[in-house]
């Protein structure tokens, strides 16, 4: 079972990645483009990231980007949400 600190850390990383790619997760959820269970699945995928420290560093060096790093488990979904 994942700890609260792990979930909180990855929720922050996922939210920042979404913002960096131009996706608003809350707005997508309100529009119905991101069902709550899908958002939870994305968070769980993020907690399995192979390089959260690298992700944090990447986010610190990118204000805006068109694509997430290759290792981002949610990169494709976030790009899709940003395009909507």
Instruction: State pLDDT tens for residues 48-66.
Output: 999 999 999 999 999 999 9
pLDDT at 2: 64
Ranges of each domain in the chain: 4-83
Residues sharing a CB contact under 8 Å with residue 75, sequence separation 6 or more, in sequence order = 17, 21, 67, 68, 69
pLDDT at 54: 96
pLDDT below 50 — which residues of the chain?
A: none
Q: What's the CA gap between 17 and 64, in Å, rounded? A: 9
pLDDT at 49: 93
């Amino acid at each position: 079972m994942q700890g609260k600190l792990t979930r909180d850390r990855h929720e922050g990383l996922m939210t920042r990645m979404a913002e960096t790619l131009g996706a608003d997760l809350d707005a997508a959820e309100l529009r119905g483009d991101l069902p709550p269970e899908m958002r939870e699945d994305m968070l769980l995928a993020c907690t399995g990231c192979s390089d959260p420290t690298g992700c944090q560093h990447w986010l610190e060096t990118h204000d805006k980007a068109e694509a997430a790093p290759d290792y981002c488990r949610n990169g494709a979904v976030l790009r899709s949400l940003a395009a909507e």
